[in-house]
Amino acid sequence: MANISCKQRAEQVLAYCLEGRDVPDALLDPLLDAECSPELFRTVIERLADLFEPRLCLVYARLFSRIMARALPEFDAGELFARYQRVRVPQVFEGAEPEQVYVLSRVTLGADIAVTSVFLEAARRRFPRARVFLAGGAKSAQLFEGAPWIEHLPVNYPSGGSLAQRLEARHALQDELSAPGALVIDPDSRLTQLGLLPVCAEPEYLFFESRAYGGDGDENLGTLARRWCREVLSVDVNSAVLQPRPVAMDVMKDSAAVSLGVGDNAAKRLDGAFEAGLLRELGQRFASIVIDRGLGTDEGARVDHALAASGLAPERFVIWNGSFAGFVSLLARCRFYAGYDSAGQHAAAACGVPLVTIFKGYASERMLARWRPAGPGVTVIPVREPDDSETILQRVRERLP
């Protein structure tokens, strides 16, 4: 085993997990070091979550309890697993009225729009006298800057970091979240490693296990989050909350918004010919196209290529070079949205903007069902073998207004 790569080792661990077998210590332990632990998350942890198989929640919990007991000596694997089994069961909250409610970020922007925002609104309705905090990064907090009742507790979570770096987020949370009068709502956050790491006393902790809640049904995560809020907090939340600060930029009323972002997951995107063709199709139906150039060099280069290859005049585009929250402010003023399975689709759905979203590279059919946006005017186009870019473009063409 000593000569296999981090990825090969992680793939072997995943195979053990999917088969329901205990992972040998000799195979698991090397994945905990700084070099290999990013692969542990990428290949094993994310895959177990993306399959949305209820049985895999306990497989994950057993595995990560062992990992935590090795990385943090103050914890016992058996006690962590037993706690997880308790908190994963939804129970009606009957505790005292809290002074502060901390809703943990899911870390990714799309999940914070589709899921976390539901819990923020539920906290406001259920506990009207409490201060409501979003605990997470600055990019997520910017999505709610226009809502004065949402305060921000800054927490950094390095999504591509080592195990040790990711666990530092818990230390940043503990003092605030364990203070008297605090209640924590955890929507299956990476900040607690999907509910495994304690950040406060159990009676002050409410956990939404999004990978198992809903069982074998096909509801999306936003619908399940609202159901959980009715069950546990006895409040109805009709839609996601999304209030970025307005951007002072003119947008024509007859505009379409586009994001070619894929959250650093290249498996989600089609080729450059599709992206240029998408812009051409939109250019035939809308007076202007608002496009997010993204803050990464790869996404920006792909956008530049699509703009040039589309054949549309440069003045037909409004190009946004800034925060995602700023793009959302512009998207909300548009008549239509198109993009991949990423944060933009959830922003459009939350803003009530009709949309077409392309799903490619998803791990399972249930992942497609869970992450699809829902609402009036939402069209989801899955990419399955042997679909090619022209086939998908034709399907998009048929669904454009």
Q: Looking at residues 381-392, what average pLDDT do you find?
A: 96
Q: Which regions of the chain carry the CATH code 3.40.50.2000?
A: 100-233, 255-399
- So what's the pLDDT on residue 241? 86
Confidence of residue 376 (pLDDT cuts 50, 70, 90): confident
Lowest mean pLDDT segment, chosen from 15-19, 30-34, 296-300: 296-300
Measure the CA–CA gap between 123 and 119, rounded to whole angstroms.
6
Upstream peptide bond of 148 is cis (omega within 30 degrees of 0): no
pLDDT digits (tens, 9 = 90+) for 324-360: 999 999 999 999 999 999 999 999 999 999 999 999 9
- So what's the pLDDT on residue 239? 80
CATH 3.40.50.970 corresponds to the domain 255-399:
no
Confidence of residue 2 (pLDDT cuts 50, 70, 90): low
CATH value of 100-233 in 3.40.640.10, 3.40.50.720, 3.40.50.2000, 3.40.50.150? 3.40.50.2000
pLDDT digits (tens, 9 = 90+) for 167-206: 988 888 888 999 999 999 999 999 999 999 999 999 999 9
Q: Looking at residues 100-126, what average pLDDT do you find?
A: 97
- So what's the pLDDT on residue 1? 46
- So what's the pLDDT on residue 175? 86
Average pLDDT, the chain: 95
Percentage above 90 pLDDT, the chain: 90
pLDDT digits (tens, 9 = 90+) for 130-169: 999 999 999 999 999 999 999 999 999 998 889 999 998 8
pLDDT digits (tens, 9 = 90+) for 219-264: 999 999 999 999 999 999 988 889 999 999 999 999 999 999 998 8
